[in-house]
Amino acid sequence: MLASMSDVVFHPPVEELVLTKVLAAFAEPARLAIVRAIARAGEPGVSCTQVQQDAGIEIGKSTMSHHQRVLRESGVTRTRIEGSRRMLTLRRTDLDRRFPGLLDAVLADSDAVTGARA
Amino acid sequence: MLASMSDVVFHPPVEELVLTKVLAAFAEPARLAIVRAIARAGEPGVSCTQVQQDAGIEIGKSTMSHHQRVLRESGVTRTRIEGSRRMLTLRRTDLDRRFPGLLDAVLADSDAVTGARA
DNA sequence: GTTGCGGTTCGATTGACGTCGAACATTCCG
DNA sequence: CGGAATGTTCGACGTCAATCGAACCGCAAC
């Protein structure tokens, strides 16, 4: 069964994305910063540690791993395993198909561009 | 000081709305149902008990009161006191000015139109 | 007034969530 | 091979949030 190597980790199908779950994933400040960092990185994707650098947050790696799982299981991010590291990308098209405009609205917040206030 | 009777209860000014707070307010299923009910009701506004009816949720009134406070303090709803009851409305223009497209994206979820799944 | 309706406040409980450190598994590299 | 790098898993801990019932307050209506 060629379960398409990328499904070594669980990704919920588009139809099963739940709005409240996605919103909850975005609602956590650390996670929102992570999402923005992944968004800035764009298409090839970024590794967890790289994201942590870019997001400018100081948390243990176990916490980081936890947030990644929440983001992935809520359908916000996709995790592609590449060697020893996980490449993270946003599920832009999926999110936009399921909840049109939501991701853009969240990413567009002007306060966060400079990494400003809480 | 004519503190404009409507400020007997606290409403955060537009500039102070925080994205994560608003998202957290939306992320709670019961609260999301409440928001939808208020949205459907439209402009004159609806009372708490009426909203509870429309939203089709079964919770104690203390819990309802709690949710209303979260929604109000996050800047999602406005509470106008009218006699013995609170008239609830969405702060549409404020939300749209601060987080363009967010409210629409949240309200547009097709799953909830019929009051469907969790 | 006194009764009833609409909501808030309080205190307590319960479960979920964010955080950490330590241990582990894989992969890369010298 | 052996060690460093990258993440995950596993408790454990503390905090926050949702929920409830009971008491309370204001207004309305009789």
Task: Give pLDDT tens digits for A52-100.
Answer: 999 999 899 999 999 999 999 999 999 999 888 999 999 999 999 999 9
Q: What string of DSSP letters covers B61-113? A: HHHHHHHHHHHHHHTSEEEEEETTEEEEEE-HHHHHHHSTTHHHHHHT-GGGT
Close Cβ partners of A114 (under 8 Å, ≥ 6 residues apart): none
Q: Output the pLDDT for position B5.
A: 46
CATH number at residue B77: 1.10.10.10
Shortest alpha-carbon distance between residue B55 and chain A (Å): 16
Whether residue A85 lies inside any domain: the answer is yes
Whether residue A31 lies inside any domain: the answer is yes
Mean pLDDT of chain B: 88
Whether residue B29 lies inside any domain: the answer is yes
Whether residue A65 lies inside any domain: the answer is yes
Alpha helices in chain A (DSSP H): 19-27, 29-41, 48-55, 61-74, 92-98, 102-107
Range of the domain at B92: 14-108
Q: Out of A19, A109, A118, name the one closest to residue B109 (CB).
A: A19
Chain A residues within 8 angstroms (CB to CB) of chain B: 18-20, 23-24, 26-29, 32, 99-102, 104-106, 108-109, 111-112, 118
Q: Which two tokens stand for residue B27?
A: 């992320």
| Sign of the CA dihedral running B3, B99, A31, B105 | positive
Using the structure, give the distance in angstroms from the CA atom of A47 to the C1' atom of D10, rounded to a whole number.
23
Number of domains in chain A: 1
Chain D nucleotides covered by protein, CB below 7 Å = 5-11, 17-23, 26-28
A114 touches strand C (CB under 7 A): no
Whether residue B3 lies inside any domain: the answer is no
Close Cβ partners of B82 (under 8 Å, ≥ 6 residues apart): B45
> Confidence class of residue B7 from pLDDT cuts 50, 70 and 90?
low
Whether residue B46 lies inside any domain: the answer is yes
Whether residue A115 lies inside any domain: the answer is no
Q: Which residue, among A102, A103, A104, A117, would best test binding to B if mutated, counting the most B CBs under 10 Å from its CB?
A: A102
Shortest alpha-carbon distance between residue A39 and chain B (Å): 17
> Confidence class of residue B29 from pLDDT cuts 50, 70 and 90?
very high
B37 touches strand C (CB under 7 A): no
Contact check, Cβ <8 Å, B100/A111: no
Q: pLDDT tens across B42-96, in order?
A: 888 999 999 999 999 999 999 999 999 999 999 999 999 999 999 999 999 999 9
Q: Output the pLDDT for position B4.
A: 45
A20 touches strand C (CB under 7 A): no
Whether residue B21 lies inside any domain: the answer is yes
Contact A25, A31 (CB under 8 A): yes
A11 touches strand C (CB under 7 A): no
Contact A26, A99 (CB under 8 A): no
Q: How is residue B46 annotated by DSSP?
A: B
Query: Which chain B positions have a beta carbon within 8 Å of A23's beta carbon?
Result: 23-24, 26-27, 32, 106
Q: Output the pLDDT for position B6.
A: 45
Whole-angstrom Cα distance, residue A33 to residue A83? 25
Backbone Cα Rg of chain B: 14
